[in-house]
């Protein structure tokens, strides 16, 4: 491993594979990631953090273990936060947005949006926003705290207080209140 000292004493190293290791990076202007001219290939990923797979195409993974299990067929995912989308894998793990600590850890399907600490989906094309919120059926939408939404259902509120609203939009056009 070759070591070079920066002007302020920062240690920089490069191994035989071309991997560059920088102890600390401070940037007062633009930071370009990709080719020398700042451009990317259409299949490039952006990985910032540690313990990420770094494979797949067009994925953005920021945070420790964010996107850890992505494979070569996992594409266009945005995973931001500690362990965000950690278990997403395969072609079914495509087009997901997971933002928050452990957001989207159960996601193994496509086109989910999970925002919030512990927000998750065990299905496809669901939207979950809040802490420990989940969708357990396709096209479910859950917003609140510690609630879940079944297929084709919108659920809003917090289960711990027993107060939430839900609507099954395949059979009902009115909201039902639970308390």
pLDDT string in tens for the chain (179-residue length): 454 555 555 566 677 776 777 767 676 766 656 555 555 566 778 788 777 777 888 889 999 999 999 888 889 999 999 999 999 887 778 999 999 999 999 898 899 999 999 999 999 999 999 999 999 999 999 999 999 999 999 999 988 767 888 888 887 566 666 65
DSSP letter at 133 equals -
Q: How many residues are listed for the chain in this entry?
A: 179
Output the pLDDT for position 145: 94
Output the pLDDT for position 114: 97
Question: Are 68 and 51 spatial neighbours (Cβ–Cβ below 8 Å)?
Answer: yes
- For 111, list phi and psi in degrees, rounded to 5: 55, 50
CA 29 to chain centroid, in Å, comes to 27
**60-86 pLDDT tens trace:** 999 999 999 988 888 999 999 999 999
Question: Which of 128, 99, 93 has its CA nearest to residue 111?
Answer: 93
Output the pLDDT for position 34: 58
């Amino acid at each position: 491993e070759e070591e070079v000292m920066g002007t302020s004493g920062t240690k920089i190293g490069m191994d035989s594979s071309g991997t560059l290791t920088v102890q600390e990076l401070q940037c007062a202007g633009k930071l370009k990631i990709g080719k020398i001219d700042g451009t990317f290939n259409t299949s490039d990923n952006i990985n910032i953090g540690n313990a990420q797979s770094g494979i797949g195409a067009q994925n953005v993974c920021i945070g420790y273990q964010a996107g850890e299990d992505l494979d070569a067929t996992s594409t266009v995912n945005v995973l931001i936060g500690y362990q965000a989308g950690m278990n997403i894998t395969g072609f079914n793990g495509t087009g997901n947005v997971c933002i928050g600590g452990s957001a989207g850890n159960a996601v193994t399907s496509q086109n989910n949006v999970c925002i919030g600490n512990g927000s998750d989906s065990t299905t496809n094309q669901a939207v979950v926003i809040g802490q420990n919120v989940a969708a357990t059926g396709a096209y479910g939408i859950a917003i609140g705290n510690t609630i879940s939404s079944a297929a084709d259902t919108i659920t809003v509120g917090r289960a711990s207080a027993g107060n939430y609203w839900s609507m099954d939009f395949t059979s009902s056009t009115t909201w039902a209140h639970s308390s």
